[in-house]
Amino acid sequence: MKRLVILAPNWLGDAVMALPAIADVRRGAPDAHVAVAARAPVAPLFQLVPDVRETIVLNAPASVARVGSWTSIGAELAGGGFDAALLLPNSIHAALVASRAGIPERWGYGDGMRARLLTQSVPRIARVHQVDYYRHLVAALGFPNGPREPRIAAPPSARAAADRLLKDAGWSGRSVLVALAPGAAYGGAKRWPPERFGALAAALANDGVESILVGSSADARTTREVARAARAIDLAGRTDLSTLAGVLTRCRALVTNDSGAMHLAAALGVPVTAVFGPTNEHATAPIGGDHAVVTYPVWCRPCMLRECPLDHRCMRGIEVGPVIDAARRTLR
C-alpha cells in the first residue's frame, strides 16, 4: 500500500477524537502517503496535526432534492491514485464516496448495505468512548494502538493571530484568561443556560480572571446574553479554527458545554470543565487527567435529543456553584 486516504468524521469533536486512531495508522504505515479527506468545516483541524501530509476538502453530501449532485460523489478522490480508504464516518455516503472514487480497498465498520460497499468490514462495537471506538477499528485492521489522548499544536501563526485579535478586542495582555464556550452546534438541549455562564464569568472576574467568549457566528446571540450578565470579551464568529486554537492556548482553562471546542481545547492541553446534560459523558468526555465533568442526576439523561421536550432539568439542575468550583480547581 503506497497511498491511503482516511475519511474523517464530519463533526469537529468527533474528528478530534479520531486523532489517536489516525496517529496509529501513520505509525503502522510509515512508508505510505496518508491523506485525510474531510468536510470544509473540519478540514482546517488537520493543518494542526503534524503527521498529516495532505488534507483533501470534500464537498457537502449529495442531497436527495438535488439528484444531479449524486454524479459528483467521490470526485475529489477519484484522481488521487489511492490504494485504500479508511472510512471513519459510519454513513453509507462515506462508503459511496470511496467506492465511486474507484479506490480498490475500502475499510471500515460495516453492516447491511454499507458492508457491501466495503472490501474489509469490522463489526461495530458499542458502549465505549468515541476515542476507543475509532482505535478499535484501526486495531482490528492491523494497526497497533498507541497513545490514547488526542494531541494537536497551535502553530506560531495561529498564536500570533490570536494575540492580535485579543489585543483588538481589548485584552491588556496582563490578566489571566479563561475561555467560555456557551454554545453547541448539536442543539439547544446541550446548552447550559446563558445566565449561568454569565454568573460564572462574574465570579471569575471577582477572582481577577477575565473571560473570553468563543463560538461560531451561530452562537453570537448566546454569547451576547452572557456578556450582558458579566464583563467578558466576546469573540463569537471572529475566529477560524486555527485562530480559535491560538486563543485557547492563551487561556488557562475552558468552561464549556459538550462541544467541538471542548475537544479542541483538551487536545491542545488546556484544562476543561465540561457541563453535560443530554449527551453521554462516558462516550464523549474530554480525554486526559486535568479535566472535570459536571452533571445533574435525572432519570431521562442521557437522552441524546437535540431539543428537550420536557423541562431541560438535566441542565437547569446544574447550579453555578459546582461549575465555579470545578473551574477554579483547573486554575490551580
Contacting residues for 9 by C-beta, under 8 A, at least 6 apart: 15, 17, 18, 42, 88, 89
User: 156-330: same fold as 3-140?
Assistant: yes
Determine the Cα–Cα distance for residues 173 and 276; give it in Å rounded to an integer: 32
Q: How far apart are CA 295 and CA 331, in angstroms?
A: 20
Q: Name 332's Cβ contacts closer than 8 Å, sequence gap at least 6.
A: none
Q: Where are the domains of the chain?
A: 3-140, 156-330
Q: Pick the closest to residue 134 from 267, 280, 18 (CA basis).
A: 18
- CATH number for 156-330 (one of 3.90.550.10, 3.40.50.1000, 3.40.50.2000, 3.40.190.10): it is 3.40.50.2000
Q: Name beta bridge partners: 212.
A: 179, 233
Contacts of 86 (CB under 8 A, 6+ apart): 4, 5, 6, 7, 25, 107, 108, 138, 141
Residues 258 and 279: their CA atoms lie apart, in Å, by 8
Taking Cα atoms as reference points, which of 89, 90, 236, 244 lies closest to residue 152? 244
What is residue 55's predicted lDDT score, i.e. its pLDDT?
96
Other C-beta atoms within 10 Å of 127: how many?
A: 8
Query: Domain 3-140 is in which class?
Result: alpha beta
| pLDDT in the model for residue 61 | 66
Residue 180 grid cell = 467560555
Question: Prior bond to 182 cis, omega within 30?
Answer: no
Per-residue pLDDT tens digits of the chain, which is 332 residues long: 799 999 999 999 999 999 999 999 999 999 999 999 999 999 999 999 987 889 999 987 654 444 455 667 888 999 899 999 999 999 998 999 999 999 999 999 998 888 999 999 999 999 999 999 999 999 999 999 999 999 999 999 999 999 999 999 999 888 899 999 999 877 899 999 999 999 999 999 999 999 999 999 999 999 999 988 888 999 999 999 999 999 999 999 999 999 999 999 999 999 999 999 999 999 999 998 889 999 999 999 999 999 999 999 999 999 999 999 999 998 87
